[in-house]
Amino acid sequence: MSNYVIVRLNDKLTPEFQINYNTTTKIAQKSKISSWAEIKSQKGETLILLLAANIVLTTQVKIPSKNEEVIRQSIPFAIEEELATDVSENHFAYMQLSEQNFLVSVVNKNIMEQIHQQLVATGLKCSSLYPEIFSCPSQINTTSLYVTDNYVVIRDNNNGTTINQDMLATYLKLSTSSNHIVYASEQLKFAEDSNITLKKTNLTVLQAQTICSENAVNLFQGQYVQSQDRKKSVNPWMRLTLLILVLVTSWLIMNVSQLWQLTTEIDSIKQDQRTLLLQLVPDASLTEKNDPYSAILSRLKLSQNTHKGNSAQGFIVALTYVGQTLVQHPAIEIQSLRQRNTKLEINLQAQNVSQLNQFQSSLEDNIYSMRVKTGTRNTNKDGVSSIITLEQL
């Protein structure tokens, strides 16, 4: 299988031949074609187009700049005098040779557009379009030529063109070059005193090897870069819509994740509440188990109300017993009453300590459900005062 498919386009942009070249075996097979539809490029093969040298101007310029934009804008005006048409009608491609020297190839924009249209129409993928002169070997201070059946490609360093084969003898006679190397597939006759070196070779292999190894100017630059596979421009609104969609999707994923995590935590808390409820109320109902938090609150409220009821009932009972005891000891006076939680504090006044002791003893006999405690006793002008505390058992 070949690595490269090399196709020559003549000055009418019609494909003339196709070379299938394998760089490993150095085998090149050439076949004649006459239309774009006949170009066959398989998967894994690199398609290279050669553009006839007589419709491409290749020259060398010097531009003292490292800025790519400055270089690209300066090139057209640096070679303006060499152009046959207006600068705006041409496409310029270049390759840097040294820090300030550039090799430039110029071709009419209409030609580039036609090539692009043909590539799109046929569905061919191609990223390499080279001037044909780069398929001819180059040597310093030497003019190189290769002779085919129909035309001759001439390369003088980085300049070149094509001529008809019947004009070859005239060209060599008028050429000012001191050295010529002519590559041909058959023996040719030249004047014995001419400075010409003839090299008989396989032209198909020569063309393929040279173009695949040469540093050539690729005409697919600027607006025509990878013209066979131009990326469709993305509508800004479509880009914005996609960005919003990504943001909304991210927001939804984040919120769903947090909701799932929260639900998991709620289930865990609810299970802990259910466990606590069963510890407090082993015989809890199914409804209470389904909503343990509300059940616990309800039970606590009920317990609090019961506790308050018991405290109030105990206060009333205590007052009843105190009243019965006062009947038995009319000399005792009650100065004040105060309830503190489950305790009832009674401030008593008696003429002497003996009366207080008798009152306390009678109170202990009358009230069985409460504990009677004697507090501090103080002497005053009316006798003795004391605080008795009643506590529920």
Q: How confident is the model at residue 227 (pLDDT cuts 50, 70, 90)?
A: very low
Confidence at residue 63, expressed as pLDDT on a 0 to 100 scale: 92
Confidence at residue 305, expressed as pLDDT on a 0 to 100 scale: 60
In this prediction, residues 187-195 reach a mean pLDDT of: 71
**What would the pLDDT profile of 125-149 be if each residue is shown by its tens digit?**
999 999 999 999 988 889 999 999 8
Return the CATH fold of 4-133+203-229: Nucleotidyltransferase; domain 5 (3.30.420)
In this prediction, residues 344-363 reach a mean pLDDT of: 88
**Who's near 185: CB < 8 A, 6+ residues apart?**
147, 200, 201, 202, 203
Tokens at 69, concatenated: 């934009």
Q: How confident is the model at residue 273 (pLDDT cuts 50, 70, 90)?
A: confident
**Who's near 90: CB < 8 A, 6+ residues apart?**
76, 83, 106, 107, 108, 109
Report the first-to-last Cα separation within the chain, whole angstroms: 108
77-81, 95-99, 317-321: lowest mean pLDDT where?
Answer: 317-321
**Above 90 in pLDDT, residue 271?**
no
What is the CATH code for 305-392? 3.30.1360.100
Task: Please answer whether residues 221 and 94 qualify as being in contact, where contact means their C-beta atoms are separated by less than 8 angstroms.
Answer: yes
Domains of the chain by residue range: 4-133+203-229, 305-392
Do 305-392 and 4-133+203-229 have the same topology in CATH? no
- Classify residue 134 by burial, with Cβ atoms within 10 Å: 0-12, 13-18, 19+: buried
Q: Distance between CA atoms of 85 and 92, rounded to whole angstroms? A: 13
Confidence at residue 209, expressed as pLDDT on a 0 to 100 scale: 93
**Above 90 in pLDDT, residue 236?**
no
